[in-house]
Amino acid sequence: MQEIKIKGLDETIYHEILDNGLNIYLWNNSTSKSFKGILTVFMGADDTEFSILNKKYQVHRGSAHYLEHMVCENVNEKSYLEQFNELGSYSNAYTSSNYTTYEFVGTKKLKENILTLLKNVFEKEFSTDIIEREKNPILEEMRMRLDNPTIIKNFTLNEMLYKTYPNKIDLIGTSKDIQAINKKEIEMLYHSFYHPSNMALIITGNFDVYEIITTIKQYFLKHTFSSYTKPQIKKYRENKSVNNKNLIKKANVEIPELTLATKIPLKNFAKYDLYTILNSLQLLLATNFGNTSLLKEELLTKKLIYNLYFYVYKCYDYIIIEITCRSKYPKEVEEILKNKLQSLTIDKKDIERKIASVIASLILSYEHPEDVGDMINYYLINHQKIYANEKELLEKINIKDIEKIYNLIDFSQMVSLTLTNK
């Protein structure tokens, strides 16, 4: 078992790869009163076209989400949620664009929780009756999402930003997609992607590391898996220009919601690693749009906005900067935010304070099993690794790098989306 020493924090994450390919990450803390388990499959809603051994396959949009529902149902036993309820634990499952996660949080019977999770994911029998029965609940979920302003914003924004990427359609799929999904498709997707080699199991909390790894290994001794042929996901070529720069869309909102987003090719930042890019931009936005920024304080004082949020993330081959606020005066605020984005203040003292704050938050996160589990999961999904030297990486971020990264941004591909009830 490998010990990943988290430098500067006196923490250790234990890592082991089983013979079947499953990556296991364990973090223990003797003072924790709760524990968390996460099993992530590196396959999500966008993975609808792929090839295995040069044979091409295509599934309907929404099939990954549908499969998640089916994993949580059982033919002759209680459901995934019911089994965890009986253990006194909270459980959940969710599908995103490029992954599917199953998780639990509890305070007692950790071994039983782990075995329940593994059994529900790896010992599946799919029933046509259950698959057909689940269509109406999923269709109802789709209808509810179509009335959700956040969902509307996210997918409308994707429609504006991208021309070829599949994330322009809700991850649940359309009603036509949902109606078309069948047992054969569910089984094909399950057997193509739900292999230990394409998963990570994360356990965090107060436990004996060697006892838990032994429990997991003993479970898999009873189960054999064929060698894994990793599906090759379709690659999309996306032009750097956006699809639509300005849109006003009606939605169920009391106060108009304005979102500005900029699409920047990742190759623009070729001299920098992804961690430095994302965190440099995050720090820069925090000093200019965060809770302690002069601009946010001014906009709130003048009652031009009710809130203000910012996000930096990677989507395929692009970095996205997103600013969202609620305002009764979206046109006026749009101009203010656009002007600010193109002339951000880079203040050394402010940046250093933000770095110190981020490091403090990183240290505090290791007091909570849920936070550590989510952090490990985030880095595995988005960076395919854990940063053992994260504190050092944050401390190495400097003003010159931030300035250079900021100057590589082309704001000509900025989109503006306003949700309004009028």
Structure tokens that stand for 223 in this block: 């189960």
Rounded Cα gap, residues 107 and 161, in angstroms:
43
pLDDT over 90 at 74, yes or no: no
pTM, two decimals, is 0.94
DSSP state letter for 45? T
Rounded Cα gap, residues 189 and 183, in angstroms:
10
177-225: per-residue pLDDT in tens? 999 999 999 999 999 999 999 999 999 999 999 999 999 999 999 999 9
Structure tokens that stand for 53 in this block: 């051994």
pLDDT at 149 (0 to 100): 94
100-128: per-residue pLDDT in tens? 999 999 999 999 999 999 999 999 999 99
- The secondary element (H helix, E strand) that includes residue 330 is helix 330-341
249-287: per-residue pLDDT in tens? 999 999 999 999 999 999 999 999 999 999 999 999 999
Say which CATH class 2-233 falls into.
alpha beta
14-65: per-residue pLDDT in tens? 999 999 999 999 999 999 999 999 999 999 999 999 999 999 999 999 999 9
Do β-strands 100-106 and 35-41 pair in parallel, antiparallel, or remain unpaired? antiparallel
Q: Is the dihedral of CA 169, 173, 179, 182 positive or negative?
A: positive
Q: Where are the domains of the chain?
A: 2-233, 246-420
151-182: per-residue pLDDT in tens? 999 999 999 999 999 998 899 999 999 999 99
pLDDT at 26 (0 to 100): 98
pLDDT at 208 (0 to 100): 96
pLDDT at 143 (0 to 100): 93
pLDDT at 422 (0 to 100): 80
Strand-by-strand arrangement of the 49-52 sheet: 55-58, 49-52, 232-233
362-417: per-residue pLDDT in tens? 999 999 999 999 999 999 999 999 999 999 999 999 999 999 999 999 999 999 99
pLDDT at 168 (0 to 100): 87
- Fold equal for 2-233 and 246-420: yes
With 0-12 / 13-18 / 19 or more C-beta atoms within 10 angstroms meaning exposed / middle / buried, residue 252 is exposed
pLDDT at 75 (0 to 100): 81
Mean pLDDT value across residues 231-250: 94
With 0-12 / 13-18 / 19 or more C-beta atoms within 10 angstroms meaning exposed / middle / buried, residue 299 is buried
Q: Is the dihedral of CA 173, 176, 182, 185 positive or negative?
A: negative
pLDDT over 80 at 76, yes or no: no
Q: Is 343 helix (H, G, I), strand (E, B) or coil?
A: coil
Rounded Cα gap, residues 110 and 361, in angstroms:
27
pLDDT at 146 (0 to 100): 87
Give CATH for domain 246-420: 3.30.830.10
Beta-carbon neighbour count of residue 410 at 10 Å? 12
* Percent of the chain residues past pLDDT 70, beyond the cut: 100
Looking at every residue in the chain, the average pLDDT score rounds to 95
One-letter-per-residue 3-state SS of 364-395: HHCCCHHHHHHHHHHHHHHHCCCCCCHHHHHH
